[in-house]
Structure 1
Amino acid sequence: MVSQHVLVAPDKFKGSLTAAEVAARVTAGLGVPTVELPVADGGDGTVDAVVACGFERVTLEVTGPTGVQVEASYARQGDTAVVELAEASGLRRLPGGLEPLTSTSFGTGELIADAVRKGARRVVLGLGGSACTDGGAGMAQALGARFLAEDGSELPPGGAALKDLARIDTSGFLDVEGVEFVVASDVDNPLLGPHGAAAVYGPQKGATPDDVQVLEKALSRLAAVASRTHGLMGAVEHDDRPRPMGVAGAPGAGAAGGVGFAALAFLHADIQPGIEYLLDLLGFGDHVTGARLVITGEGSLDEQSLRGKAPVGVAQAAAKAGVPVIAVCGRRTLSDEELGAAGIEAAYALTDLEPDPAVCMAEAGPLLERLAARIAAERLQGE
C-alpha cells in the first residue's frame, strides 16, 4: 500500500489547546493530507478527545467535589460510554481552594448512573485530575450504596468521614448486571500504604501531613469494612497475582484518590493501561494503516511522558505498524536518546520558536502552525 497521509494523533496542550485543537493547528501548518485523531490517556481531556473522534457528548448537572452543582459531560457511542472523573470530580471543579478531607466523587457516580440508565453496556472510566481522596465512596453512594456509622446514620461526604464507617448497605445499588466496566488508567498505586492514595496523591490535593494520616486511617477503615461486611475483596480475580488485602492492594486501587478501589470492589471493573485501551477504542490501528508519518504530542514532553502518557503510547502503537513518529510539544526536557528509546524520532517544541513560556501558552495555536510548517519543510518535502 502506498503511504499517503500523515496521522495527527496528539493529546492536549494543558492550559492552552484541547487535543482536537492541537490536531487542527498541526494540520493547518503541514499543508499535506492528514487524518486527525485526537487522543487521551484517561485523564483530563478524555471526553473532549473521544467526542472529537465521533462520540456524542451528553451533558447534565451533577454534584461537584464540594457539593456545588456543576455541568459535566460524558461521551457515548452505541452502547459504549466514556466517563472522565475530572469532568465531575476534578480539581478544576473546585469553586475555591482545595478541600482534601471533604471533597467527594459523588458526581462521577451520577454520570455513570445516567449512562447505564440510558443503555450503556460498557462504561470506560478515565481516572485523573481528581479533587478527592474518598476511596470512591462518593461514586458508590451516587450508585445507591449507603455508608453508615455505628448509629445507622449516613456518613457525610469526603474521605475523612470514612474513619467512622461501620457498615456498607448495597441493597439499593444500581442494577449493573451485564454492564462491563473498564478503568483506563496507568496509575498502579494500591489504596493504602506509602505508595497509596493518601500518601502519594493527597498532598497534590492540598492534604497536610496530618491530613494524610487522617485519610490513610479512613481509607484503611473503608477497606476493612468492605472486606468484612460484603466480601468485596474477592470480587475481582482476573489473574493469579498475589494481592495483599485483596482489592485494596490491587495495582490501580489507589488511582484518583481511591476511586480505582471502588471501581474494582463495587463495579468489578477491569483496569487497563489508559492510552493503549483508548487508542484501541478510537481505532488507531485502522487510521495508522497507510500513513507515512505519525505526529503526536502533549504540552510538556518530560519524564512523566515516559510513564504511560499519550505520546509514548502512540509511538508504541505506531511502531507495530512500522510508521515513524515525531512529536510536538510546548516544551521538552527529554533528551534525543530518551525520545529515541521511547520510539519518537524527534520532537519539535514551541520553545524552539519562542523562549518565553507565557507567550507559548498564550499563542500556542499560531506557534504550533509555524512548527508544523517547519516539520513539513524538513520531513515531508519530496515524499
Structure 2
Amino acid sequence: MTVVMAPDSFKGTLDAPEVAAALGAGWSDVRPQDRVVTCPMADGGEGTLAAVARSGRGTVHHPVLVHGPLGEPTTAAWLEMEEDGARVGLVEVASTSGITMADPLDGLRASSRGFGEAVVAALDAGVDRLVLALGGSASSDGGAGLLTALGGRLHDRLGRPVAPGNAGLEGIAGLDLSGLRSLPAGGAVVLSDVRNPLLGRSGAVRTYGPQKGIRQADLHRADERVGRLAGLVRDRLGGDEHAPGSGAAGGLGFTLAAWGARLVPGAEAVASVVGLPGFVDEADVVVTGEGRFDATSAQGKVVGTVSGLCDARAVERMLVAGSVEDTPTGFRAAVSLVDLAGATGAMSAPGRWVRDAGGRLAAGVT
C-alpha cells in the first residue's frame, strides 16, 4: 500500500514537514511494509516556503536583512526556484512581516515593510517571476509598508513621510509612485486562502484585526485609514477593493493586485508546485491535517484542496487535527490530538501525539 502524508502545519507547534514526518513514522510503526510518501503542504501562510523547499522545487535560500513587523532588524529569506528555465522567487509574509514575529501584537503599528524588502531583494537578484505567499501577516496597513519598500512615498499634507503601520495612515494625504519598482517580466502570482474584500464588515481590518491586537473600539477607524490609502492607490494604479482576496494580509492582496500581480488560491498553487497531484495518483490512502479542523477547512485551505484531489481520483483520505470542531465528512477515519491527549498534552508534546495518531490510523486499515 502507498500512503501519502500531505498535512498543513499545526500552527504554533509543528511545521508541515514535521507533521508529515511524525505521521509517517507513526504509520510505519504499525505497518512497516507500506510505502510512505511525505508531501508537506501549505496554503500560502506560515510554512509555505518550508513546504516548497522540502519538495525539492526550491533550489536556493537567499538570506536577507529586513525590518520585522514592528520595525526591528531581522534576518529572513526568500527561496529561488527554477521553472521551465525561468528563475522564480518565492517570498512569504509569515517569515518577513508575520504575526508570530510581533511581540507584543500591535496591529495598528505593525508594517508590511519587511515583506516588501524581501520582494525587492528578489527583484534585485534578477528573478523572472515572483510567487508571493500572503498568510500569517501581523499588519493591517493596506500594503503601505510594501509600497514604501518598493520605492513609493506616502506623505502627509506637509510632505512628511507617514509613520509605519495602520495608525500612520491617519495623516496620509498623498502618494508618490514615481519611484515604484516594476513587476518582473514574468509577473507575480499571489497565494492566499482568504477571499475577503478589502473594506467593510467582512474586510481585512474588521475580520482579522482583533487577532492582530486591534481593539474592537479601534476597528472602524482603522478600516477607514485603509480605505484612505486604497483611494490613493486606486487613483494611480487602479485596483478593486471589492475583489475576493483583496483583504488578504491586512490589505496586501489589494495593493499587490493593483501593482499587477494575480491572486490565486494558495493551497491549489502549492499543491501544484510540490507535485501533490502526482503523488495522489499513486496513492491508496492520503492523510492530511491541520491544527484546527472546522467548517472553514474546506474553503480553499489545505484539507479542502487535498480532499478535492482525492475525490477526483477516488482515493481514500484520512484526517489528523489538533482539534476537530466540525464533522469530518468524507474521511475514512479522523483523529483529534485533543481527544487523545487533552488540550495541554497536545500542545506540550505535539510530535508524540501526531505520531501516535499516525499509528492509530494505520491500525484501522485492513
TM-score between the two structures when normalised by the length of structure 2: 0.92
**Correspondent of 1:30 among 20, 27, 32:** 27
**Correspondent of 1:85 among 87, 90, 93:** 93
Structural mapping, 1:333-344, within 5 Å:
333-335=325-327, 339-340=328-329, 343-344=330-331
The alignment partner of 2:284 has SS state of strand
Paired position in structure 2 for 1:74? 78
Given the alignment of the two structures, is residue 251 of structure 1 paired with residue 244 of structure 2, yes or no? yes
Structural mapping, 1:167-316, within 5 Å:
167-228=174-235, 230=236, 232-233=237-238, 246-266=239-259, 268-316=260-308
> Separation in 1 of the partners of 2:357 and 2:47?
23
Paired position in structure 1 for 2:119? 112
Given the alignment of the two structures, is residue 51 of structure 1 paired with residue 87 of structure 2, yes or no? no
The alignment partner of 1:26 has SS state of helix
Structure 2, unaligned stretches of length 5 or more? 29-33
Given the alignment of the two structures, is residue 366 of structure 1 paired with residue 366 of structure 2, yes or no? no
Paired position in structure 1 for 2:106? 99
Preserved CA contact (<8 Å) 1:133 1:257: yes
Q: State the percentage of identical aligned residues.
A: 38
String of CA shifts for 1:338-359, please: whole Å, max 9, x gaps.
Answer: x22xx433212223432x2111
Preserved CA contact (<8 Å) 2:152 2:175: yes
User: For the aligned residues, what is the CA RMSD?
Assistant: 1.7
* AA partner of residue 360 (structure 1): A
String of CA shifts for 1:68-100, please: whole Å, max 9, x gaps.
Answer: 111222222121222211111111111x32222
Change (3 A) 1:217 1:377: closer
Structure 1, unaligned stretches of length 5 or more? 234-245
String of CA shifts for 1:49-70, please: whole Å, max 9, x gaps.
Answer: 1111122333222101111111
Paired position in structure 2 for 1:146? 153
Cα offset for 1:377? 2.2
**Correspondent of 1:60 among 61, 64, 71:** 64
> Separation in 2 of the partners of 1:222 and 1:15?
32
Paired position in structure 1 for 2:2? 5
* AA partner of residue 287 (structure 1): F
The alignment partner of 1:87 has SS state of coil
TM-score between the two structures when normalised by the length of structure 1: 0.88
Stretches of 4+ moved more than 3 A in 1? none
Aligned residue-pair number: 355
String of CA shifts for 1:148-168, please: whole Å, max 9, x gaps.
Answer: 222222211111222322222
Preserved CA contact (<8 Å) 2:234 2:258: no
Paired position in structure 2 for 1:241? none
* AA partner of residue 333 (structure 2): A
The alignment partner of 2:322 has SS state of strand
Cα offset for 1:171? 1.8
Change (3 A) 1:294 1:62: same
